[in-house]
Amino acid sequence: MSEEKKTSIKAEVFSWVKVIVSAIIIALLVDFFIIANAVVPTGSMETTIPAGSRIMGLRLYYGFNEPERGDIVIFKYPDDESVDYLKRIIGLPGETVEIISGKVYINGELLDEPYLSEEPTGDFGPYQVPEDSYFMLGDNRAVSKDSRYWHNTYVKKDKIIAKAFVMYWPSLKWLG
């Protein structure tokens, strides 16, 4: 094989290696800084998000916006931060959350929750949400292990990883 041909093959291989390495670096940067992926292992968010669903969230969203009641978020579980959870924000900083006969009251006013498929039950609280923290509930309250049951009741703002925006498996659904 001629020296010219060897150089040509090396250049071609190096060209492909650069493309592959660049693609890997870009994918890692997107995954680490822009997009968060999550798998929902339980039925705690049904019927909004079925068990086994795959979710994408925007990591940068709360760098430009404040978390709002009703947002579905991916966050570090307060009792074990090595685990990521997905729940809905119910209580905002400074608010009092109380659950009476399954109905949620924020500062004494009934919260409208059209995303619930079943009438929840039970009495919990009242909870006084600390500054820079949030009270989280699952949409399927009968099976959801959420702020009502955690040892560390609230999620601090800096532990929110991303706002969930799309369920892409088993079907495509925008989450807002």
**Tens digit of pLDDT for each residue in 2-25?**
667 667 887 888 888 888 887 787
- Cβ contact 163:73 at 8 Å: yes
Straight-line distance from the first to the last Cα atom of the chain, in angstroms, rounded to the nearest whole number: 60
In this predicted structure, the answer to whether residue 47 has a pLDDT above a threshold of 90 is no
pTM of the model: 0.86
Distances (CA, A) of 88 to 9, 92, 144: 55, 11, 11
**Tens digit of pLDDT for each residue in 53-103?**
999 999 999 999 999 999 999 999 999 999 999 999 999 999 999 999 999
**Tens digit of pLDDT for each residue in 95-120?**
999 999 999 999 999 999 999 988 89
Q: Is 29 exposed, middle or buried (0-12, 13-18, 19+ CB in 10 A)?
A: exposed
- Residue 89: what pLDDT? 98
Active-site amino acid positions: 44, 87
Amino acid at 135: F
- Residue 29: what pLDDT? 67
Helix (H) or strand (E) holding 39: strand 35-39
What's the half-sphere exposure (Cβ side, CA atoms, 13 Å) at 143?
12
